[in-house]
Amino acid sequence: MPTIGDAVKCLEQIAPTALAEEWDNVGLLVGGPSWSARRVMTCLTITPSTVTEAIEQKANLIVTHHPLPFRPLRAITTETTAGRMLLDLIAAKIGVFSSHTAYDSANAGINQHLAIGLGLQQIEPLIPSSNEASSDVGSGRVGHVGEQLTLREMADRLSSFLDINNAPGRTHLVGADEHPVTRVAVACGSGGSLLEAAISKKCDCLVTGEASFHTCLEAEARGVGLILPGHFASEQFAMLSLADYLSDQLSGIEVWASRTERDPLRSL
C-alpha cells in the first residue's frame, strides 16, 4: 500500500526541499510518513473549497504549492480560517505536503515549464543557486525567443500556453504592444523582485504572475516590458502536470488536480 512517505520520496526527486528559500515552509507539514496515500490531490493553494473537495473525495494527501501553515501559528482554533482548515484536515486524517519555492527553482519545476511553454531557447536560471553544483537550478529562468516578437505577441503566446481566457483585464502588460522582445525572463507567482536581475541579464521582458504598482513604474522607466497573467494562472497549470508525474511514478495510487480550485480574481 502506498504511503505518504512514498509520495514524499517521489516529490523530493522532482523538487528537493533543500532548494527552497530560507524563509519558506516546505516539506511534510501535516500527517505522518506511514499514513496511507492511495488518493492524492494536488492544488495551488489550500482553501475552504479545496479542503471540502479533499474530504468529500476521501483524499489521503494534499500536495499543495503554497504551504499551510506558512507562518508559525500561535494557536490552531476554529476562530481563524487557517485553524479551521487544519483541524478539518487532521480530523479527516489528510496529510499536507508543499514544495513551493523548491518546485519554483527545480530543474524540472514551474519556471522551467513556463520558459519551455513560451518557446524560449538556451534556458538557464535567472539567479543560479549558490548551494548547488548543478547550473540548471535557481530562481526564475531566462532565455531567447527564436525570432524577435513584440510584447503583445509574447503575451498572446503566454495566454495560449496557459489557456487563459483573453477577456479584458485577464493579462496585464507594461510597455507598448510593439515593444521588441528577444530575451525574456520568467518568474512564476509574485516575481517583481526579480526585475533588477532581469535587467542585469539584458532582458527585454519579464513574465511574472503579478508585480506591485511601483515595480510596474520602474519597469516602464527602465524600458523593460512586463507580462502579468496573474499569480494563479502563472502557477496553477503546473499542478496538473505534477498530478500526472505522481500518477506515473507511483503504482496503486489515484492522483488528481483539484477540480474546484479557482482564481479568486475575476474580470468584469
Query: What does the pLDDT read at residue 72?
Result: 86
Structural domains of the chain, with CATH:
4-100 (3.40.1390.30), 107-232 (3.40.1390.30)
Neighbours of 248 (CB within 10 A): 10
Eight-state DSSP code of residue 9: H
Tens-level pLDDT at each residue, the chain (268 residues) = 899 999 999 999 999 999 999 999 999 999 999 999 999 999 999 999 999 999 999 999 999 999 999 988 899 999 999 999 999 999 999 999 999 999 999 999 999 999 999 999 999 999 987 665 566 888 999 999 988 999 999 999 999 999 886 555 579 999 999 999 999 999 999 999 999 999 999 999 999 999 999 999 999 999 999 999 999 999 999 999 999 999 999 989 999 999 999 999 877 7
DSSP helix, strand, coil percent of the chain (3-state; round to 5) = 35, 25, 40
Torsions phi, psi for 52 (to 5 deg) = -60, -45
Residues 231 and 207 sit within 8 Å (Cβ to Cβ): no
H-helix segments, 37-150: 48-56, 81-91, 101-105, 110-117
Which residues 6+ apart lie within 8 Å of 68 measured at CB?
29, 30, 45, 46, 82, 85, 86, 96, 98
